[in-house]
Amino acid sequence: MTGGHGRTARSDGPETRAVNLAPVRRREESHRTHVYKVRCQWSGSTGPGYDAYDREHTASAPPASPNLSLSADPAFLGDRDLLNPEQLLVMAAASCQLLSFLAVAARARIDVLAYEDEAEGVMADDDPPTRITSIWLRPTIRVAAGVSEDRVRHLAEVAHRECYIANSLRTEVHVEPTVVVQQPAARP
């Protein structure tokens, strides 16, 4: 069923619900609002109890095409071969820092040649409520010759302040970059 503006309306039947997950565009006087929608789906039975139900489920974010198969952390009886929500949170922070840094560097006309992050999230069971208490981003940033390491570190700090995900979390997000300045090619 389609409403007056081409959006799909929900069916209240018990079978399935059709929902248009296309981005919602809203205009406001001086700024835009961005809306991000995802779909998570699971089916099975929790009837046999906590130790027996399957934690595997799928997630998608149309119009992006990949569907992710997800599970719980193995500590919570999940499948270690599938991504879990805790990893996705750390991944989101790392990806946002990467994209923010590339944008800041490009605006500053810094030639970034490579960026690789070995990020880590920490969750302690003995500090209620259980949560990710810190995220450590440790990018190795390779830049072209002629760029100062101090300039790159400064831009990493600016990118951290501009990172939407880090700004959205109560968790501390630490950025510890390693900067590699490419040496000029030797002249024959």
Task: Kindly report, residue by residue over 101-135, the tens digit of the pLDDT.
Answer: 999 999 999 999 999 999 999 998 898 999 999 99
Q: What is the pLDDT, as a whole number, of residue 29?
A: 53
CATH 3.90.180.10 fits 86-181, yes or no: no
**Partners of 181 in the β-ladder:** 143
pTM, rounded to two decimals: 0.78
Extents of the domains making up the chain: 1-72, 86-181
Question: 152 is written with which tokens?
Answer: 């790159």
CB of 104 within 8 A of CB of 155? yes
pLDDT in tens, 52-63: 999 999 999 999
Q: What is the pLDDT, as a whole number, of residue 103?
A: 97
